[in-house]
Amino acid sequence: MEAQVDAGRAKAIGISNFTEGQIQRILDAARIKPVNLQVEIHVYFQQQPLVDFCRQNDITLVAYAPLGSPGSVSMVESFGHK
């Protein structure tokens, strides 16, 4: 991916579903660090340690399933709206 940034075909590098340990390995080895992480985050799955780690390393977060994932109680249901 760094070669794609160097060639101008990508503006930045993003990752998805990585743990703190996996991100740290990238930060230790990569020349260009990832700028964004996409993970499942919602009120029932907040992943605060991962959020804090990303903040400390200037990595933005994008949440998928912000209202909950299929098969779990959604925020809409928890407020009595079905």
What pLDDT, in 10s, does the model give residues 3-16?
A: 999 999 999 999 99
Q: Which residue type is seen at 30?
A: A
Does 79 have pLDDT greater than 90? no
Q: pLDDT-based confidence at 64, cuts 50/70/90? A: confident
**What is the total count of domains within the chain?**
1
Domain extent, residue 41, equals 2-78
Token look-up 């928890």 returns 78
Could you report the per-residue pLDDT of 21-58, keeping only the tens digit for each? 999 999 999 999 999 999 998 888 899 999 999 999 99
Residue that wins the pLDDT comparison between 11 and 74: 11
